[in-house]
């Protein structure tokens, strides 16, 4: 879904120059007039939201407005800038942009935020346009200086050339360019002229990352910095009542103890000292209402939700009538588990509170949210908060929440003014106090007639992340992110009744890679398979029969099937399972190959076919599918969070495992050639892994597993 | 004071003896390349070389390191390291990159110990390293490629 506000059509560009005479091209919201002449110097038209700046020495800087968490957005967006400026991307200096929602709001999400596989879709046109405008002004300036028509000038590698007049570099003409009126419409390069987009390129941060040179939030170091560790109430949502402050302060190197309510923090000269002192606090907790929360209570909450009528997400025809009339209809329920994010870099933040305002340094996907949370925690206006976003050691949606930013600021406030403090959560704190992927329950009913599904009903029951984080998007009981994967069902089915029930279950939930796509895909693609088997239809043919109106989707399904050697029935202890969905504007199909027996299952391979439109950085698109598939395996095989007495029972990678090298099969990715505008890619490899494997397990063993993780049903993967 | 060799230089620390080497490196020596991921030797992000062999620095109390030789990612040199890091570049291994220091430390140690590892040996040497971004397939291929590079004397 999109919460687009029409910004991409109505953005205006405003050009101004840096005091030193450079050229700055920015992007403004509607309301500012376009076509205004840019000015030189510090007065008047200085634009606060700059993407591209070019200095008189010709150096080009790109302020990247989205956050890098491994998804390669820094390099990919730099490639867009490089394309229109006719530059080698490696010659552009990439920096992280400051918080500036006026310039950097994500048009699909409504804030300066990185998530939902939106960054490329959001920037595809505006960023190229900004770069093309810069180029146009530079060429016009050179042409004017030479007294020749613009059409006689060529651009290459940072230089403008004319057959008779020779060459001027970008740096030579930035001052002239800044003085020119901004053109309202510039032409973007056609696909056929692309020299950067779609071509091989080593990611710009790769070399540093291979040599331990990247600095994440957790690595930030400031002079005079202290370190904080914390212990949160082991029962979710509980509060501190009393603790032995003096016992902690008596320890060498401990500087302060700060009561945060939901947790108690120790501040020391180094993190080990702080973490080691937590035991001395001997905190007494008021466990609060969640003390009775357990798995059974969670399941009961969802079950109660299933009794509600729910909000209608999509309806067509009369499914109730068709299902009661149909010769045989099928009913099934599916459930998915709570999951922790387990980002390898645990949650952390460096905060400084001083008369100058507040500085936070954080691995964050939501710098605007971090700014607001820091301002609130410090009791200052957002204008006095500077967010220094760092490269992230794994996001997966965890870094959309800014709880640790607020905590760090509150701790900083308790220290002498101007003292930086680095708060780091231990792995155990991270695992036991996450914003978990919500559990879900899916009530399915359907029938097959004439080789296609004639009626499908899907009631999705789950708590809503959006109701907590972005409540403005929840309308009439529908959370638009929760219904992705059902509201945008790719199949043409004449009788449809798709509903959702938002049902809180007593703990805080968060966005986890692919959000509800993974959960809805597990239910839908498993159920389609069940309908196929029950009615004697081939699972591929059944899907293709319903995809005639979506040729891009049927194309990837055919590709994945062909590449995997798919067979509808198991052959010599090997079986194939298929799943297909459109998500985030891309089309994905997956065939999983599974061998063995129910006691010793082995995933032999995953065959993906993806149509994401134009692949700006093709190898990194493949890398994202490969990586997201491993997140998919994590959600499928054995990982889960369980609750007892309001406590999360898992604490580290031993009891909340993530896939290891020896558990990950070969992953094959085929990208379709396409001229369509790019779709999202960061998350699209995740949702289909569970249903494809579950479908293969059925084909192999005859066991239909309707809940995740699969091993909870007694099968074993080796 | 505890004295040991760090990346070829003699250093000393007044950290308490029970302080894991990981935190001495990060918080006292200014070397942030070695990462904290789990604190229990489950993830491998904290891997350094101790007397030339891979070791989990989160499990090395600095008190036991007197006179020992520690190498971190910042001090990793030699033909195997170069082969690994070049292969990492060619195969575009890192995504978020947080686990990669540890991965490179173990991959380098593997090739120093066994210049021609087969797939099983690569897997055995590297399975202790978690990658939440899922770059395992590329890690495998990069190590095999690095081994070929060393073999060819390139």
Tens digits of residue pLDDT in A547-590: 999 999 999 999 999 999 999 999 999 999 999 999 999 999 99
Rounded alpha-carbon distances, angstroms, from residue A318 to A322, A499, A532 = 6, 14, 21
Residue-level pLDDT at A24: 54
Q: Under a CB-based contact definition with an 8 Å cutoff, are residues B81 and B49 in contact?
A: no
In this prediction, residue A23 carries a pLDDT of: 55
Q: A371 — contact with chain B (CB < 8 Å)?
A: no
Provide the pLDDT confidence category of residue A44 given band limits of 50, 70 and 90: very low
Identify which has the larger pLDDT, A503 or B151. Answer: A503
Other Cβ atoms within 10 Å of A464 Cβ, number: 24
| CB-based contacts of A344, cutoff 8 Å, min separation 6 | A393, A394, B35, B37, B43, B45, B96, B98, B99, B130, B131, B132
pLDDT confidence of A175, banded at 50, 70, 90? Answer: confident
User: Chain centroid to CA A406: how far?
Assistant: 21
Q: How far apart are CA A491 and CA A546, in angstroms?
A: 5
Tell me, what's the pLDDT at A182?
86
Q: Between chains, do A427 and B37 touch, taking CB under 8 Å as contact?
A: yes
Taking the C-alpha atoms of residue A237 and residue A251, their distance in angstroms, rounded to an integer, is 29
Scanning every residue of chain A, which has its alpha carbon at the shortest distance from the alpha carbon of B83? A210
Q: Which residues of B touch A272 (CB under 8 A)?
A: 15, 19-20, 23, 27
Residues 77-106 of B with CB under 8 A from A: 85, 88-89, 92-101, 104
Write down the mean pLDDT value for chain B: 97
Cβ–Cβ of B94/A627 closer than 8 Å?
A: no
Q: Quick check: A213 contacting B, CB < 8 Å?
A: yes
Cβ contacts (< 8 Å) between A396 and chain B: which residues? 132
pLDDT confidence bin for A433, thresholds 50/70/90 = very high
Contact residues, chain A, for B125 at CB < 8 Å: none
Query: What percentage of chain A exceeds 70 in pLDDT?
Result: 93
Closest Cα in chain B, distance from residue A714 (Å) = 25
Which residue, among A272, A619, A681, would best test binding to B if mutated, counting the most B CBs under 10 Å from its CB?
A: A272
C-alpha to C-alpha distance for B49 and B29, rounded to whole angstroms: 16
Q: How far apart are CA B25 and CA B33, in angstroms?
A: 9
Interface predicted TM-score (ipTM) over 0.95: yes
Give how far A66 is from chain B: nearest CA, Å: 14
What's chain A's average pLDDT? 93
Q: Does B60 touch chain A (CB under 8 A)?
A: no
CA distances from A257 to A277, A405, A406, A480 (A): 10, 18, 16, 42
Find which of B72, B125, B133 to mutate to test the A interface (most A CBs within 10 Å of its CB).
Answer: B133
Query: pLDDT value at position A327?
Result: 76
Give the pLDDT of residue A56.
86
Task: Choose the mutation target among A73, A76, A114, A210 for the interface with B, i.e. most B CBs under 10 Å.
Answer: A210
Q: Which has the minimum average pLDDT: A47-61, A143-157, A633-647, B32-46?
A: A47-61
A25 pLDDT exceeds 80?
Answer: no
Other Cβ atoms closer than 10 A to A135: 23
Q: Does an H or E element contain A313, and which?
A: strand A311-316
What confidence score (pLDDT) does residue A156 get?
A: 92
Cβ separation A214–B72 shorter than 8 A: no
Per cent of chain A over pLDDT 90 is 89
CA distance A309 to A316: 17
Segment B24-73, tens digit of pLDDT = 999 999 999 999 999 999 999 999 999 999 999 999 999 999 999 999 99
Neighbouring CB atoms inside 10 A of A39's CB total: 15
Residue contacts between A and B (CB atoms, under 8 Å): 167
Beta strands A667-671 and B2-6, pairing class: unpaired
Q: What strands, in cross-sheet order, belong to the sheet with A153-156?
A: A153-156, A159-162, A166-169
- Cα–Cα distance list, A698 to A51, A336, A573 (Å): 51, 18, 12
Mean pLDDT in residue range B117-137 = 98
Asked whether the beta carbons of A519 and A335 are under 8 A apart, the reply is no
Buried b (16+ CB within 10 A) or exposed e, A392-429: bbbbbbbbbbbbbbbbbbbbbbbbeeebbbbbbbbbbb
Classify residue A37 as left (phi > 0), alpha (psi -120 to 50) or beta. beta
Residue range A614-627, pLDDT digits in tens: 999 999 999 999 99
């Amino acid at each position: 879904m999109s919460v687009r506000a029409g910004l991409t059509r109505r953005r205006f560009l405003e050009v101004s120059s840096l005091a030193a005479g450079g050229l700055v091209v920015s992007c403004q919201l509607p309301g500012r007039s376009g076509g205004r002449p840019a000015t030189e110097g510090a007065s008047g038209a200085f634009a606060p939201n700059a993407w591209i700046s070019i200095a008189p020495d010709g150096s080009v800087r790109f302020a990247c407005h989205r956050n890098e968490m491994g998804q390669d957005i820094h390099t990919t967006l730099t490639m867009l800038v490089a394309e229109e400026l006719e530059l080698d991307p490696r010659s552009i200096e990439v920096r992280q942009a400051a918080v500036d929602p006026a310039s950097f709001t994500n048009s699909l999400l409504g804030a300066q935020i990185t998530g939902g596989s939106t960054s490329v879709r959001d920037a595809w046109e505006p960023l190229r346009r900004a770069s093309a405008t810069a180029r146009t002004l530079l060429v016009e300036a050179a042409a004017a200086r030479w007294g020749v028509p613009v059409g006689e000038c060529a651009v290459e590698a940072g230089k403008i050339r004319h057959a008779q007049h020779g060459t001027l570099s970008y740096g030579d003409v930035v001052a002239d360019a800044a003085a020119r009126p901004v053109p309202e419409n510039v032409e973007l390069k056609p696909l056929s002229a692309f020299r950067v987009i779609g071509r091989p390129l080593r990611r710009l941060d790769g070399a540093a990352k291979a040599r331990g040179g990247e600095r994440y939030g957790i690595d930030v170091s400031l002079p005079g910095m202290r370190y904080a560790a914390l212990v949160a109430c082991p029962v979710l949502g509980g509060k501190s009542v009393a603790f032995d402050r003096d016992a902690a302060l008596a320890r060498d190197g401990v500087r302060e103890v700060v009561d945060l309510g939901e947790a108690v923090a120790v501040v020391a000269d180094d993190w080990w000292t702080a973490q080691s002192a937590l035991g001395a606090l001997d905190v007494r907790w008021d466990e609060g209402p969640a003390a009775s929360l357990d798995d059974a209570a969670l399941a009961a909450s969802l079950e109660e939700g299933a009794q509600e009528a729910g909000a209608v997400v999509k309806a067509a025809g009369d499914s109730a009538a068709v299902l009661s009339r149909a010769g045989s209809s099928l009913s099934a329920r599916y459930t998915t588990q709570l999951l922790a994010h387990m980002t390898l870099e645990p949650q952390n933040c460096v905060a400084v509170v001083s008369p100058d305002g507040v500085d936070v340094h954080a691995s964050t996907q939501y710098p605007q949210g971090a700014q607001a949370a820091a301002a609130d925690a410090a009791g200052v206006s957002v204008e006095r908060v500077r967010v220094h976003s760092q490269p992230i050691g794994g996001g997966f949606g965890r870094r959309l929440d800014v709880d640790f930013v607020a905590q760090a600021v509150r701790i900083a406030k308790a220290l002498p003014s101007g003292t930086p403090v680095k708060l780091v959560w231990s792995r155990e704190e991270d695992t036991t106090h996450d914003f978990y992927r919500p559990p879900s329950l899916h009530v399915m009913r359907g029938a097959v007639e004439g080789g296609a599904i004639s009626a499908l009903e899907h009631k999705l029951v789950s708590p809503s992340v959006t109701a907590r984080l972005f409540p403005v998007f929840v309308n009439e009981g529908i959370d638009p992110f929760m219904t992705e994967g059902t509201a945008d069902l790719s199949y043409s089915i004449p009788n449809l009744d798709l509903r959702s029930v938002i049902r809180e279950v007593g703990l805080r939930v968060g966005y986890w890679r692919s959000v509800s796509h993974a959960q809805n895909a597990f239910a839908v693609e498993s159920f389609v398979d069940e309908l196929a088997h029950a009615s004697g239809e081939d699972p591929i043919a059944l899907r293709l029969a319903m995809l005639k109106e979506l040729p891009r989707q049927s194309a990837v399904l055919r590709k994945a099937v062909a590449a995997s050697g798919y067979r509808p029935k198991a052959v010599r202890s090997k079986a194939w399972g298929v799943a297909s969905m459109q998500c985030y504007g891309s089309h994905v199909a997956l065939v999983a190959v599974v061998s063995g027996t129910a006691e010793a299952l082995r995933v032999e391979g995953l065959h993906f076919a993806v149509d994401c439109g134009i692949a700006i950085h093709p190898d990194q698109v493949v890398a994202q599918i490969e990586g997201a598939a491993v997140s998919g395996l994590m959600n499928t095989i054995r990982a889960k969070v369980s609750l007892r007495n309001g406590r999360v029972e898992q604490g580290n990678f031993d009891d909340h495992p993530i896939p290891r090298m020896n558990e990950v099969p070969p992953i094959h990715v085929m990208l379709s050639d396409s001229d369509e505008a790019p779709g999202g890619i960061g998350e699209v490899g995740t949702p289909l892994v569970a249903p494809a494997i579950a479908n293969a397990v059925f084909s192999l063993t005859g066991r239909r597993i309707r809940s995740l993780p699969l091993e909870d049903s007694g099968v074993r993967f080796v | 004071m505890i004295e040991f060799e760090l990346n070829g230089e003699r250093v000393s620390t007044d950290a308490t003896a029970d302080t894991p080497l990981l935190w001495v490196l990060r918080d006292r020596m200014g070397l942030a390349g070695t990462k904290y991921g789990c604190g229990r030797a489950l993830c491998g992000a904290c891997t350094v070389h101790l007397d030339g062999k891979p070791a989990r620095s989160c499990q090395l109390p600095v008190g036991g390191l007197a006179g020992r030789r520690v190498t971190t990612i910042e001090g990793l040199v030699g033909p195997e390291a170069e082969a690994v890091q070049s292969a990492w570049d060619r195969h575009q291994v890192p995504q978020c990159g947080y686990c990669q220091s540890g991965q490179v430390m173990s991959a380098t140690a593997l090739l120093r110990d066994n210049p021609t590892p087969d797939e099983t040996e690569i897997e055995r040497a590297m399975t202790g390293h978690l990658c939440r971004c899922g770059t395992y397939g590329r890690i495998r291929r990069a190590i095999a490629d690095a081994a070929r590079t060393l073999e060819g004397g390139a």
